[in-house]
Amino acid sequence: MSECKIPYKIYLSEEEMPRVWYNVRADMRNKPAPLLHPATHQPMTAEELSAVFCEELVKQELDDTTPFFTIPTEIRDFYKMYRPSPLVRAYCLEEALGTPARIYYKFEGNNTSGSHKLNSAVAQAYYAKNQGLKGVTTETGAGQWGTALSMACSYLGLDCKVYMVKCSYEQKPFRREVMRVYGASVTPSPSESTQVGRRILAEHPGTSGSLGCAISEAVEVATSQPGYRYVLGSVLNQVLLHQSIIGLECKTALDKYGVKPDIIIGCAGGGSNLGGLISPFMGEKLRGEADYRFIAVEPASCPSFTRGRFAYDYCDTGMVCPLSKMYTLGSGFIPAPNHAGGLRYHGMSATLSQLYHDGYMEAVSVKQTEVFEAAEQFARIEGILPAPESSHAIKVAVDEALRCKETGEEKTILFGLTGTGYFDLVAYERFHDGQMTNYVPTDEDLAVGFAGLPKMD
């Protein structure tokens, strides 16, 4: 089909929306390593995991052989309120860059939570509801996941308790307010409401919190209150499974127009978007049916892929969660407070870590002022105000497109535009006012985090 027929925005019909999620682990020769019990260092059993997660999600978490999971009708109905999401041909950006490359981005920000997180939030809330639970607990950093979960819980009539990293709670009162619109309770973390929170506050009285702390608190509440389970917006295998809808929609839309991407780029914090975006394409690569370059983009201030260790580590600061084998900076690593661009998690999805370790994808890190420059350029040219997280991918997509300009190659670039920047305007303001700095941890900084890695037998 001729190029000129490709619209600015490709919307699939609701009928074309995927009916299954794709589990990339089924096609991996080297499976991601199992979660281990934090005390015994033995693989977590389904029974043990069921104290934390609801049963259907435990099954999804542990299943590394079933390639497809049917998306329940109720979840598809919810998806229809904001999906299929548009795959956008960035004609304006291509023209502004003067590149022969063709650039596409999958925009996941057109829902009130403002990001892709809703794809897994509704799935996790649905299975919790289906199991007859009363509510769920979670943590949120920048607030995208907490907002998404609040929306899903409100729709399904579930109680929702969110532990929000204290600095975000204070800096983003509007995020809090959106969660309140959806009826969630939001507590700044660390808090006095949990044992682990009180312990962390005693050890670090002035702490502004971290995702790792908030996870510990949310898990404690879920496992100590009857009728509650914990849910998590990234890192887990189940999350990558749900987020595969992003990549599946991309693939369907591109196939429809006979387009094959050469390079697929996603920002990487815990890996939820990147994993979801690349899954079906990675499946083809794993099966030897096609080849793609995959690029994970992370902040230079929190460089788990590019400077981390591939090792078993705690998923949380309080060390109450299972151990996961992943690229990690150590569960004690906390990025500098001047880092505004999200993607602050110390570890990484075990699935993506294994794929990276096995050489199936690349990773680069970028500095935050470069990221905000790319964000503003993108906003002015393509209209959409991007989230800082998403702008990591924009930065590298632009770099690759400019490389094509030099070489004259007509490559097709696909990147994930995971969300909007509506709640990140304090960061944009700092950028405009020249107050944004670039923090890159020294080797000594990283050594502190690595020293806290658990000793394995």
Binding site for a second copy (CB under 8 A): 7-9, 11, 13-14, 80-82, 92, 110-112, 151, 154-155, 173-174, 177-178, 180-183, 376, 379-385, 420, 422-423, 425, 428-429, 432
* CB-nearer residue toward a second copy: 8 or 19: 8
In 59-169, DSSP assigns E strands to 68-70, 87-89, 102-107, 135-140, 159-165
Nearest approach in angstroms of CB 221 to a second copy is: 23
Nearest approach in angstroms of CB 375 to a second copy is: 8
* CB-nearer residue toward a second copy: 11 or 360: 11
Query: Rounded to an integer, what distance in angstroms lies between the CA atom of residue 156 and that of residue 75?
Result: 10
- Of 242, 254, 243, 241, the residue nearest 12 (C-alpha): 254
Instruction: Classify residue 60 as exposed, middle or buried by CB count within 10 Å of its CB (0-12, 13-18, 19+).
Output: buried
Instruction: Classify residue 107 as exposed, middle or buried by CB count within 10 Å of its CB (0-12, 13-18, 19+).
Output: buried
Nearest approach in angstroms of CB 194 to a second copy is: 25
* CB-nearer residue toward a second copy: 11 or 450: 11
Query: Rounded to an integer, what distance in angstroms lies between the CA atom of residue 21 and that of residue 248?
Result: 8
Nearest approach in angstroms of CB 408 to a second copy is: 26
Query: Rounded to an integer, what distance in angstroms lies between the CA atom of residue 294 and that of residue 310?
Result: 19
* CB-nearer residue toward a second copy: 43 or 258: 258
DSSP 193: T
Nearest approach in angstroms of CB 181 to a second copy is: 5
Nearest approach in angstroms of CB 362 to a second copy is: 30
Query: Rounded to an integer, what distance in angstroms lies between the CA atom of residue 450 and that of residue 436?
Result: 27
Q: Is 10 helix (H, G, I), strand (E, B) or coil?
A: strand
Nearest approach in angstroms of CB 178 to a second copy is: 6
CA-to-CA dists, residue 206 to 176, 191, 246, 267, angstroms: 21, 12, 39, 31
* CB-nearer residue toward a second copy: 177 or 358: 177
* CB-nearer residue toward a second copy: 154 or 193: 154
Phi, psi of 87 (to 5 degrees): -100, 120
* CB-nearer residue toward a second copy: 9 or 19: 9
